[in-house]
Structures are given as structure tokens and as C-alpha cells.
Structure 1
Amino acid sequence: MPMILVQVLFKCIPLALTKLLSIIYLLTKAKKLLIHAISKTMRTLVTLGLFLGILNHLKGQDIPKSDSLNTQNSDSVKTQISTAIPDSTLEQPVSETEALKPVTNKAESEGFTGRFLRAFKKANRLYDEKAFGDAIEYYTRARKQIESEPELLSKLGDCYRFTKNNKGQLDCYGTLCQNGNAQPIQELYYAHALMESGSTEQARDFFSKYQNDERGKRMLKAIEKAESYKRNESEYQVNSSKFNSVQNDIGAVKYRDEVVFVSNRNPSPWVNRQSSWNSGGYFNIYKTNPSGQQKPVKWGGAMSSKYHDGPISFNSNYSMAYITRNGNYNEDAVDKKMYKLKIIEASLTGDGKETELGFNKPDYDFCHPSISANDSVLYFASNMPGGFGGMDIYKVKRDEFGFWGQPENMGEKINTPGNEIFPFAAKSGALYFSSDGQDGLGGLDIYIAKLKEDRITSVYNVGTPINTKDDDFAFYLDETGKSGYLSSNRKHGGMDDDIFEVKITGDPRYGKPATLIMVDKKDNHKLDSVEVVINGETLYSDTAGKVSVILEEEPDYGLLLSRSLYLPEQDSIHPKTISDEQFVKTYTLELDPKLAINGRVIDSKTGQSLDDVRIRITDILTNAEVQTHYTKSDGAYYQTFKGKRLNQKLVYFLRIDKPGYLQHTQILDTIPVNPGDMALETKLIKVELGMDLGKMANLNPIYFDQGKSKIRPDAAIELDKIVSILKDMPQITIELRAHTDCRAAAASNLSLSQSRASASMNYIIKKGIDKRRLKAKGFGETKLLNACACEGKTKDTCPESEHAKNRRTEFIVTKIKPAIITPAPGKKP
């Protein structure tokens, strides 16, 4: 009967596991030696098939061959931590015989040789085979014989660490530390365990000893930032999912209308395939509905293999899946080398073809794939050489022909000497991942990396309630970006992981907290209700004058501050230059002095107030037109200068005009020293027949070279002023009258003056004035303004200055048409 049972079991259960073999052993004592050999082989093969040890490998736990501060086989990693802890302190791998020598000697001296050594040797063999869950039992037996043996406590502490038993770590590593037998790395392990248990201050003491090590530095930073991790607590809801089991359930993602996740629950009561890492079952991919009302079912076919399957990621149309899977079982390769993880691309349509991605390497692990929203970039975790230590996050791009390129490390902003795993590419463009090397709350924490143009701009801890002191990982959001899942052992601790539903109910912000304080310039009292517009978002200061904001490292922030009765303020903040975790800046607001022009316009001849006068005001410093006013019946207008301060230079250009009057221009150039109004009176000149526009407009004399009529540059400037008047007053016609002094022959002077008048008129015509509005006439020396005649017997005795008065050009108004008056706004024509 026993042999028949053995045959049945071997047919039904591929690679029968340790528990069944132990039953067979009890039933078939006659086959003891054979079964013992099979059991040992099975344990090795099962161990080879792990995700580096069930969930610990799913979480990216490294499996050290020595307890150095970093357990990767990369020399560069060891170099990174050498400044923190000398190489001489790192435990080197030793043979089982060498390891047992000091323990054996102690055991012999204390009389526990046989019982102790049997348990200790058995535990060490299991430890070497990575069967940490089984090893704990035998180390515990041995410990009963020799309570505080350092070698035993070190190995037992490691077993507890690999199986996520924090209480056990505190016991073993704590005893080593208390007895003075702890290596530096074990002190760090103890500090992490203290952190996870909530003993923050005790953890700080140990982390402080290793401030030159990146992990010690990061964890000290995390302790200081503990309060800031609670910032977004009200923005999330986290609840246990309805499809959890008593086993491990992780990595939930959406698949069409279903939820797909990974679990090591036992799908059959008759078959119990287990792993020796922690005596748990193998991980398989399951499907269920989001409500959890449907019993989860194992996804068979291409989604199922002999060993661990998952986590999984789907492309945008669910036609392709990317799966983590451990290497195939090979009977000829039975040794102590772990089978490595690899990423499989599986078609979910047609023949369900599976393809091992070309960048997988047999000596390293490639796991936790996540495809980007546009299906062009695959993110994953790997411990391949060239990283920063532990597991690192990588990305690989698909080219235009559909082929994957070479993996690229995501760099030091994301990766640390610890483990970075479970990347998730959100539809928003952000990259989420888990890490035990970044500053955090303890264990694995979830982080968000902001990307801009394929460049990482910033990385932030997502904070509570997403993160806890336990392991939090496998974060996922659906296409809405508002709901998803995460995995965590927060409920029961240890290796018991569950899936939690996530709802984003608010607007979580990540970055550097900043406090902006608003005060009055005069007496420094706090100002509430100050409007703060920061990159388009409007906030208001509270009764303490404070505005609290979260600043991401990029972009820079522009601020506009305003409050009733106060002058506005502008500023910019450059978060990259801010080193403080809590940025505080005080802004001083000044009461508005209410600077203004209290103006009035009158007729220059009668002194009467003029209504409907248009006043256009331009800020010369900015070349911006400030405002246009129209005077009332009392000739008044009022212009305030918002935002202008006392003792600040004001330079404004005023253009004042009214139909039938010469336009008046004026520059207001002043530095006000007192608040309030500045009085300004303007006199407009009414245009009348026979008026000389040149004189009214204060033109400078128009000069010509001696005996010439060509318009000189200085004359052109003055003629342009006449052009401007004519354009402003299209209803007037003028006559250009040119005069000379008495010197030279009268006939010659008459001819020259006519030429000069004509030249001036032609210049004005070329500037766009209708020639029908212009007439040119030369008067020679016939209309002298003084007694400086010099014809005939009259002797010239006048100085040059008197002769200059006679050399002139006049712009006489000869006709005025009725003006077409445009009424001021709000008035009828």
C-alpha cells in the first residue's frame, strides 16, 4: 500500500513538496534513504523556483551571501558604502565548518555539543538553501541550548528579516546590539526594525551612527520629515479589498471589467505546492470582479506556469500582457544557484504566444514590468550590474518597428543602494515605485516620480495613508487616475500581504512645504485676506497672515499678491534653490498712497472750463497706455496711479485734444513724496483764422542753408509737428509763408523765399497731407518784423540776431471747415 501511494502521488503532483514527502516518509520507513534523497532534491528544486523567496523576491529582497551593508555582487556598490563602514567590519562568507568552530567550542565547554550542533547544522543547511522559514525552527531549537551565541543570533535575525518577522528581528538584532556583538550592518537592520515598530527615537540613535552611509542619512531625513508625510491623509481613502485571502495577495490591476491579481492561495485542497522560503504556496494569477462578490479564479493557459507567475501589466487595449516569471525547471541544473526572474510578453489574442524579452539575462533578475500608457516604454526592476545597489528601476523603449531597445537605469533620483521595485507608469505620466532606500516611514514605501520630457524632475514619498511603517508596494491607478490598488502587510505584518483599494478623494500635493507670511510695512501686523495668485491658483492668507503651499522642484513659481488698500507685490520662487524642508518667506505690503492727477482743462484765452476734452495717458517707462478720460462740464478729470509708491519716479505722457483746439502734449515727470492728488491745469488754444500754427505749437525756427531751399534734418523735425497738427485737425487749411532778411537783392530774396515755402509744402505733402489743404507763398524781405532793412541807401546796422527774426516760415490758418465732433462715451452726438 505505501508504494502504491507513492506512485499515485508522483503521478498527481509534479515536483512533490516537502510536506507530502514528510507524510510519505512516515508511511514508508522502508524507503527512508530514498525519500530523504528525494526530499532534499525537492527542497533544492523548489527553492530554485522562487521569486527569490516567494514574496520577498516579489518585493525585491536581495539574498545576501554575506551580511555586508549591501548584498549585491557589484564592486561599485561596496565602494559606495565603504566611507560609512570599513570593509574590515563586513562579514565575509565562510564555510560551514569554519562558521561552526567557535560555536562548537562554546557548545563543548557548556555541555550542549550533541543536541545543539545537530540543530545548528540543520539550520545552517536550510539557511544556505534559502529555506529561511524552515531554518527558523532549528535555529530556535539551538538557541534554547546557547541563548546568546552571536553567530546563531545573526543567522536567526536574517531568517526573520527575510520572512518579514519584525518582532523576531527586534529580538535577535536587539540582543546582538545590547551584548555589543552586532556588526554595523546589524545595527542598521535593528534600526530599521525599530523604525517599523514605531520606536522612532531609538531608531534615530542607531541611524545617527551611520550618517556617512546613504541609508543612515536617508532614514534620519525620514524621521525629521515624519509629520510632512501626513500632509495628504485627507486626500485618500484606503480599505482592504473584498477578495483577500488568508494567504498572500498582491499586485492588483484592472483587466477590462475585472481585477487581476497575484496570490499564493491554494487553488486545490488536494494539491499543496509549497516553497521552503517561508512554507507558503506558489504565486498564481487570479481574476475576479472589482466588488469581490465573485470568487477569484485562477487564470490558466499562458497565464499559468509550474512556479511563480506575476505581477502582471497590460497594454492599453489589453491585447498583450507583461508577466514576471521565474526560470524554467531543469533537472540537469540542480545546484544551489537560484533560478532568476525574467519578463515574459504574452499575447492575449490568437494563439497566446509567449516571448521572453530579449534584454533578460540568465544571471540576473528582471521583474515587476509596467507598460506606459502609450505602450512605448516598459519599466521594470532588476539587479543587473551597473546599478546603484539592490534592485533598481529601469526603462526600455520600443522602437518604431516594435523592437525593444537596451534598458536604461532610471538614475540616482529614483534608485538607491537599497531596493527600488514595483514601478507603475500612470496615465498622468507620473511613475510610482516602491523603495526601502529612499527616506520613508519604514519597510517599503510608495513614491511618485514626476517626469518632464522623459526627464525626472522630482521624487516624493506619497505619505500616509498610502504608506505605513510596514511594507507598502505594487501601487496602481486605473485610467481615471482616481481609484486603484496597493499591496501591504500592514494588517498582520510579516509575510502576510493583502490588497487594499485606493480612492483619491481630493487633490494630493507633493513637494516642499512653503509658508508665505503677509505683514503690513508700517507696523508689521499680520494681514489676512491677501490674495495670492501662484502659477494661476488663487489662495488667501489666514488670520495669522499665512498662506501654505506645496512647491514641486519644477517649475519655478510666479506670485502676485494683492489686497484692498494695499499696493500689489510680485515675486518668484525657485524651489530647486531651496534647501530648507520648510520654506518660510515674509512679504511686506505697503498701503497704497493713492497717487492721482486731479486735472482740469480750460480755454487759454477765456479761462472757461472745457468739457468733452479727451485725455490719453501713457506710461513712458512701460510704453503702455494707462487710460483715456473725457472731461466733465467743469473741465475736470481724475487719474489714479495704482501700484505706484511714494518716492518712486513717475513718467507719463499726456495727449490732450478737443475738436477746434490745438492738441496739447505734456510729460509728467515727478517723484511724489506725499500721498494723495497732484493738481494739473491745462490750457488749450482754440484754432482761429489767421493764427500761426507754428507760433501756437512753439515750433523752433526752420533754418535753411544760405542761398538754399533744401529741407535740413533739423527743419524736418519741426515740419513733422505741423504734419501731426494737420492730421489731428483735418478741417483746417493753411498757407506756408516764407520770409527772408534784407541781405541780398530783393528779387533774389523773393525767389528764394518762394522756393523755401514750396519745399516745405512738398515735404508736408509727402507725409500724407492732402495738397488741397496747403498753399505756399514767398514774401522775400517785404514783411520784416523789425527795422532791419538794408535796401538802397539804408545801411545795415542790425546784429545777426535781429536779422534771424526776419528769416522765418509761418503756417497761417486760412480756412476752417465745421468739425465733425465725436462725442465722449455716454453722450449723444
Structure 2
Amino acid sequence: MKKINILITIIILSSFSLTAQNKDTKKADKHFARFEFIEAAEDYKKLVEDGKADTYVYKRLADSYYNIFNTVEAERWYAKALESSQDPETIYKYSQMLKANGKYEESNQQMAKFASMRPGDDRAVAFKQNPDYLPKILEKGKKFNVQNMGFNSQVSDFGGTFKDGKLYITSARNSNRRTYGWNEQPFLDIYTLTKNSDGTYQPAVLLDDKINTKYHEGIVSFSPDGNTMYFSRESFFEKIYEKDSITKNRYSVLHLFRAKKSGANWDNVEGFAMNSKNYSIKNPSVSSDGKTIYFASDMPNGYGGFDIYKANINDDGSLGEPVNLGQKVNTEGQEMFPYISDNGTLYFSSNGHLGLGGLDVFHTKEIDGKIAPIRNIGIPVNSNADDFAFHLDEETGEGFVSSNREGGVGSDDIYAIKKLQPLCDVLITATVTDIKTGKPLNAATVTLNDEQGNKVVSKVTNTDGTAEFIVECSKNSVLEVSVDGYESRQVAVKGTEEEEVNVPIALDPIEKLIAADRIELAPIYFDFDKSNITSQAAFELDKLVQIMNKYPELVINATSHTDSRGSASYNERLSDRRAKTTVQYVISKGIDKSRITGMGKGESEPKVDCGTNCTEDEHQLNRRSEFIIVSGSPQAQ
């Protein structure tokens, strides 16, 4: 009860505060009511300077800038207004201004707050369905956090397959094994570790002798139900080996095995028919549907040392014929440690593709039967040492990579990874030229927007007329180009998996927009029942501003029109508000107010005379502004 009384008191005091300044705000309010937002903003700012501002003034000041699309000032004053009043609509507008200014994380935070306050609002529902819709600024750099794991030993530890609450690793830490001549460390065994609630792990437990032998065992993978384990084992166990014809020393290969779960243990260990004494098969990875197994092998007719292969897993558990993934994946070097993730991305290690040194981790994907470009996963996953045995949960963005880089505990260590940014990216190169001469245009501003129209980043073209951007694969983008003396353009760029996309953009001289009696801009459309300037409207109006700056004698009358929905009198008032807001935007860009007037025409002059049977597209065509040349036409000079 006490909390309710306090709340009522706060509401009353807040209401009093919002109305107590009406005498002081009378002049500013009058300008605001007349849609004279520049003058209104000046008067509200004077109140701020005089110490007479409250939440009402801050919000009105922000709304003034919002209506003329001055996003920086609108953001500033909405933030101030929200210091003392958490009004949902103000929060929403604040989020939009943050987004317009490229502050995507802050915008999302405000939208989350808005959605919690108005969960039934369509805007809130759309946001909750896709809260990460805002684009990230994607540049080359670190895509992951990498951290050495506390369970690493002084010897080789690698792998990291998580299944049914247990982490499976391969390690040489078993001191009861005899050492292996390659690195004078014990033969490799498979261990499991149980994760604690605080993220640490319990001591590693050696799997029983049904899996581990006195020889090498390697990385494991599982069927989707977790009841079948695939792993590699040295062929010495099967007494299969060859003798070197010169040294007479025995050498073995690696064979592929499977085991079936039996209670808490593993049993029924079997090899596969494709195993051979003449080549190795290792590093298995099973697809999320359990139908395909990927592995590395140096079997004949490959492209280099070890290649990446795949084979079908038949219903009876046997494997189909191995299929080499081809020369796009495999090189003359070594390709090993394939890992096929839940979303079909193939990760593997190679020293044949261009990398930082040693084995690097790469990734690709099969799309419509074709392998997408091979991409280096970048630092810090990769280093100038060997980086391998990459595993990633695509849903959580967490996984493991192994490396023998400097600073580790042993010869090979396991590192935890956390994905920070999307992996796949595309280089977009925009080349801006004069449409008549073909010459490159230097110092043109090129802005990258996402497909929702949100600004990502702006760059200026160099002397070659080019500007470059890095975006996520398969994401649609829009390039917005502007330069003095030329008509601005917007060019859609379709999302792709290609590594590079070249976008030629030829611009017409700005004079192309000038007709005998009007400026022929693309129509300035308004949202239904709204009169504030949108980002698309601002893009077109900036062309008008550019023309009026170039031709200072030009005088314009902006006419605004509505669709036929609503009464004629209401539509006349709505179109008048739109005309005045349009005029205010142009004035806010430095055009003298004597050079532009505005008039609302309501529904009296439809562009499409469709009466009461208009489609939504036809209604939008009728919701427009047009720009009539009153005097000073360049064509008349």
C-alpha cells in the first residue's frame, strides 16, 4: 500500500512539473504547434540555458530535432528527458535515434526496455522475435576470445568433443604408457572430464581398456544419439604394420573404429572395411543428422599428404565409399582435423592454404552442391604455430581449439574459444564514376546501410573513386553515394558467399533533376498518418538542398499530398503538417526560409485516381511531396 501511495505522489508531482513551465514554454510551444521546429528548438534550448528546463522541455526539444531528422541532437535530448521520466514512447524514439547514429548495441538495449514496458506493441513483438537484427560493424580482426584451459598438462593435450555432459580429449598424460619416439611422450589416450557449475573441470578420467590400448588413440566423434563413438587407433593394436625397406623399422598407420555404448561404458569396438595397412584414416567427425562422416586420410589418389574425405553412414552402420572433397579444400600440403558443425559449416586445419604459419584453421560450406570459398578463421584462433582440432557449438558460440603456440602449458594445449563476430565476410568495393566521362569521383561519401536502412559505416572514395567495406556473408546491403555536383544514388547489393563483390556506381550531374517548372526528386513518402521526416525522405531532400545551394536564386514551393483515407478536412490538416515539416527540414540544412514555402493539398490531387479501391501501393504513391519552382529556374537563365 505504501508503494502505491508513493507511486501516486510521484505521478502527481511529475504531472505538476510538466505543466508548471507552460508560461515559460508558451513561445516555444507556439512554434512547435505551427511545426516551426527550428524556432521551437531555439526557444526550448534558451529555457535549458536559463535553467528553466524540465522533462517536458527536454522531450519537446528532442521531438523538434526528431521531426527534422537531426539525429544527433534528438539522441542527446531524449537521453536527458529519460533521466527523470521513463516514458515508453520516448524510449522508443531514443532507440531509433541511437540506431540512426550507428549505436546499435545501445539501441537494442533501449528497444529491450521498450518491449518490456509494452509487450503487446507490434514494434515490441517484432523486436522480441528478432532482437539481433541490427547489423554489426564487421571489420577484419578478432572473431573469437581464446583462453588456455586449466586442465592442460605438461605433455600433449588436444581435442575437445563435448557430449552428454562430458568433455572428451586426447592426451599423453598417462605416465604408465611407454613413450613414443616421435616426441618422447607417452602414447596418446582418450580421457573424459566433467564440467563443474563454475565452469571449471574435474580431473581427467581415463577411458577403459576397451577404448584405450598401449598404442595411440585419437580424436572422437559421436552419433547424434550419443550411443556410437567413432575414433582412430594405431594399427599396431591389430598387428598390422609394414617394415621400412631400408631401416627395417616397423611402422603403422591409423585405422578408424566405432564403439557402442554399454551402460556408462563403451563396448563392441569394431574397425571399418575401408581401413588399410597402406594408409591412415583419422580425425572423424559425424554430421548432425548422423548420415555422413568426415575424416582425414592419406589414401592414394589424393591431392597432397592428408586430404579431407567424407562417406555415407549406412543404416547397418557400415560406411560407404570415401569421397575426396576436391581440390578447393585439399591442397598439396596437409588437410586434417575436419569438423562438421550443426549448421553444415566445415572447419579443418591445413598448412597448404595461405595462413599464418604451421597448421591454420579454415572454414567453408557446401551450398547447392558447391564448396564456398575457403576462408582463414583468423587470429587469435590461428597463430604462427600449429592450430588444429577446432570444435564449435554454433548455437552457443563456444568450443575448443588446440595449439602448440608459445605461452602454453605443454607441447599441445587445449584452448576454450568464444565466438564474438560472424566468421564469413565479403569485401565490397564500390567504384564511383561520372556517368558521362567515366572518370572516377574522388571524395564521394559512400555509406553502407543494412537492408532495413540502418547506417553501418561511411567512407570517402580515394583518387581511384573506390571505397571498401567488409560485410557478413549472405547479408543484403544498400550503398548510399553522394558527392557535390552529382545526384545521390542508392544501390542494393545482394548477399553472397563470394569473397569479393565489385559495385560500379555511375552518377548523373545534379542538373538532371531540374525540369522547367519543378525539381524532379523521387517522391517524398510519409508513413501512414505520420508527418515526421524519415531517413529515406531525408536522402531525397538532401538532393533539393544541394540544388538550392548551387543555385541561390531558386525559390521552391513544396506541396504535400495525402491518400484518400480519412476525411477531407483531416487530410488537409495532415498534408499541411507534412509540408511544414518538409520545409523545416530544408531550412535546418541552411537554406534561408524565404526561399521555400509549403502547402498542404490533402487528397484533392491524387497521383493515382483510384477512389475508394486503392491498393496499399497506390495509397503510398498518393502520400507524397512535390517541389514546384516558383522563381530562379536555372533552365530559364
Which of the five TM-score ranges fits, normalised by the shorter chain? 0.5 to 0.7
Describe the SS at the equivalent of 1:234.
coil
Alpha-carbon offset, residue 458 of structure 1? 1.8
1:261 paired residue among 146, 169, 180 = 169
Distance in 2 (alpha carbons) for counterparts of 1:431 and 1:252 = 16
- Quick one: structure 1 residues 473 and 334, their matched pair in 2 at CA, closer, same or farther if it must change by over 3 Å? closer
Q: Counterpart of 2:276?
A: 361
Q: Which runs of 5+ in 2 are unaligned?
A: 1-137, 244-248, 462-466, 524-560, 580-604, 613-625, 631-637
Native 8 Å contact 2:446 2:481 kept in 1: no
- Quick one: structure 1 residues 470 and 333, their matched pair in 2 at CA, closer, same or farther if it must change by over 3 Å? closer
2:319 paired residue among 374, 386, 404 = 404
- Match for 2:469: what amino acid? S
Describe the SS at the equivalent of 1:348.
strand
Describe the SS at the equivalent of 1:542.
strand
Q: Counterpart of 1:344?
A: 257
Alpha-carbon offset, residue 259 of structure 1? 1.4
Native 8 Å contact 2:373 2:498 kept in 1: no
**In the TM superposition, what whole-angstrom CA distance separates every residue of 1:355-400 from its partner, at most 9, and x where no partner exists?**
2122222211000000011111100000111110100000001245
Q: Counterpart of 2:226?
A: 318
- Quick one: structure 1 residues 426 and 310, their matched pair in 2 at CA, closer, same or farther if it must change by over 3 Å? same
Distance in 1 (alpha carbons) for counterparts of 2:385 and 2:205 = 28
**In the TM superposition, what whole-angstrom CA distance separates every residue of 1:322-368 from its partner, at most 9, and x where no partner exists?**
10111144679683342111110111235721121222222110000
Matching of residue 296 in structure 1 with residue 209 in structure 2:
no
- Quick one: structure 1 residues 538 and 432, their matched pair in 2 at CA, closer, same or farther if it must change by over 3 Å? farther
Native 8 Å contact 2:241 2:277 kept in 1: no
- Quick one: structure 1 residues 293 and 481, their matched pair in 2 at CA, closer, same or farther if it must change by over 3 Å? closer
- What pairs up with 1:225-244 in 2 under 5 angstroms? 232-244=140-152
Distance in 1 (alpha carbons) for counterparts of 2:384 and 2:347 = 18
Native 8 Å contact 1:518 1:530 kept in 2: no
Native 8 Å contact 1:595 1:677 kept in 2: no
Describe the SS at the equivalent of 2:186.
coil
Native 8 Å contact 2:288 2:341 kept in 1: yes
- Match for 1:375: what amino acid? G
Q: Counterpart of 1:181?
A: none
2:362 paired residue among 444, 447, 468 = 447
Alpha-carbon offset, residue 258 of structure 1? 2.2
1:377 paired residue among 279, 292, 299 = 292
Distance in 1 (alpha carbons) for counterparts of 2:568 and 2:470 = 48
Matching of residue 485 in structure 1 with residue 410 in structure 2:
no
Alpha-carbon offset, residue 572 of structure 1? 4.4
Native 8 Å contact 1:423 1:433 kept in 2: yes
Alpha-carbon offset, residue 407 of structure 1? 0.7
- Quick one: structure 1 residues 380 and 544, their matched pair in 2 at CA, closer, same or farther if it must change by over 3 Å? same
Identity over aligned pairs, percent: 26
Alpha-carbon offset, residue 517 of structure 1? 6.6
Alpha-carbon offset, residue 524 of structure 1? 5.0
Q: Counterpart of 2:135?
A: none
Matching of residue 277 in structure 1 with residue 192 in structure 2:
no
Q: Counterpart of 1:762?
A: none
2:628 paired residue among 649, 674, 677 = 677
1:508 paired residue among 413, 422, 426 = 422
Matching of residue 466 in structure 1 with residue 391 in structure 2:
no
Q: Counterpart of 1:532?
A: 449
- Quick one: structure 1 residues 317 and 537, their matched pair in 2 at CA, closer, same or farther if it must change by over 3 Å? farther
Q: Counterpart of 2:192?
A: 287
Matching of residue 544 in structure 1 with residue 463 in structure 2:
no
- Quick one: structure 1 residues 654 and 582, their matched pair in 2 at CA, closer, same or farther if it must change by over 3 Å? closer
Q: Counterpart of 2:584?
A: none
Distance in 1 (alpha carbons) for counterparts of 2:254 and 2:348 = 18
TM (normalized to structure 2)?
0.52
Matching of residue 475 in structure 1 with residue 383 in structure 2:
no
Alpha-carbon offset, residue 530 of structure 1? 3.9
Distance in 2 (alpha carbons) for counterparts of 1:658 and 1:272 = 89
Native 8 Å contact 2:487 2:507 kept in 1: no
**In the TM superposition, what whole-angstrom CA distance separates every residue of 1:106-164 from its partner, at most 9, and x where no partner exists?**
xxxxxxxxxxxxxxxxxxxxxxxxxxxxxxxxxxxxxxxxxxxxxxxxxxxxxxxxxxx
- Quick one: structure 1 residues 521 and 466, their matched pair in 2 at CA, closer, same or farther if it must change by over 3 Å? same
- What pairs up with 1:618-657 in 2 under 5 angstroms? 628=563
Native 8 Å contact 1:327 1:340 kept in 2: yes
Distance in 1 (alpha carbons) for counterparts of 2:421 and 2:238 = 51
Native 8 Å contact 1:371 1:425 kept in 2: yes
Alpha-carbon offset, residue 509 of structure 1? 3.5
Distance in 1 (alpha carbons) for counterparts of 2:211 and 2:471 = 43
Native 8 Å contact 1:540 1:547 kept in 2: no
Distance in 1 (alpha carbons) for counterparts of 2:149 and 2:453 = 36
**In the TM superposition, what whole-angstrom CA distance separates every residue of 1:417-465 from its partner, at most 9, and x where no partner exists?**
1110000011121000000101111100000012224431221010111
Distance in 2 (alpha carbons) for counterparts of 1:568 and 1:454 = 36
**In the TM superposition, what whole-angstrom CA distance separates every residue of 1:528-548 from its partner, at most 9, and x where no partner exists?**
5846345x6844442636562
Native 8 Å contact 1:346 1:354 kept in 2: yes
Distance in 1 (alpha carbons) for counterparts of 2:241 and 2:457 = 69
Alpha-carbon offset, residue 401 of structure 1? 5.1
Alpha-carbon offset, residue 527 of structure 1? 5.5
Distance in 1 (alpha carbons) for counterparts of 2:337 and 2:521 = 64
- Quick one: structure 1 residues 562 and 277, their matched pair in 2 at CA, closer, same or farther if it must change by over 3 Å? closer
Alpha-carbon offset, residue 275 of structure 1? 1.2
Alpha-carbon offset, residue 238 of structure 1? 0.4
User: How many residues are treated as equivalent by the alignment?
Assistant: 388
Distance in 1 (alpha carbons) for counterparts of 2:172 and 2:181 = 13
Q: Counterpart of 1:783?
A: none
- What pairs up with 1:714-729 in 2 under 5 angstroms? none
Describe the SS at the equivalent of 2:153.
coil
- Match for 1:542: what amino acid? S
Native 8 Å contact 1:449 1:457 kept in 2: yes
Q: Counterpart of 1:151?
A: none
Native 8 Å contact 1:513 1:551 kept in 2: no
- Quick one: structure 1 residues 385 and 495, their matched pair in 2 at CA, closer, same or farther if it must change by over 3 Å? farther
Distance in 2 (alpha carbons) for counterparts of 1:293 and 1:658 = 72
Native 8 Å contact 2:241 2:251 kept in 1: no
Native 8 Å contact 1:424 1:433 kept in 2: yes
Structure 1 window deviating more from structure 2 (422-431 vs 286-295): it is 286-295
Native 8 Å contact 1:399 1:405 kept in 2: yes
Alpha-carbon offset, residue 260 of structure 1? 1.2
- Match for 1:348: what amino acid? K
Q: Which has the higher contact order (CA 8 A, sep 6+)?
A: 2
Native 8 Å contact 2:477 2:495 kept in 1: no
- Match for 2:270: what amino acid? T
Native 8 Å contact 1:247 1:264 kept in 2: yes
Distance in 1 (alpha carbons) for counterparts of 2:444 and 2:232 = 57
Native 8 Å contact 1:232 1:509 kept in 2: no
- Quick one: structure 1 residues 296 and 527, their matched pair in 2 at CA, closer, same or farther if it must change by over 3 Å? same
Matching of residue 427 in structure 1 with residue 342 in structure 2:
yes
Distance in 2 (alpha carbons) for counterparts of 1:399 and 1:491 = 43
Native 8 Å contact 1:596 1:677 kept in 2: no
- Match for 1:265: what amino acid? R
- Quick one: structure 1 residues 584 and 463, their matched pair in 2 at CA, closer, same or farther if it must change by over 3 Å? farther
Distance in 2 (alpha carbons) for counterparts of 1:478 and 1:596 = 50
- Match for 1:431: what amino acid? L
Distance in 1 (alpha carbons) for counterparts of 2:489 and 2:242 = 77
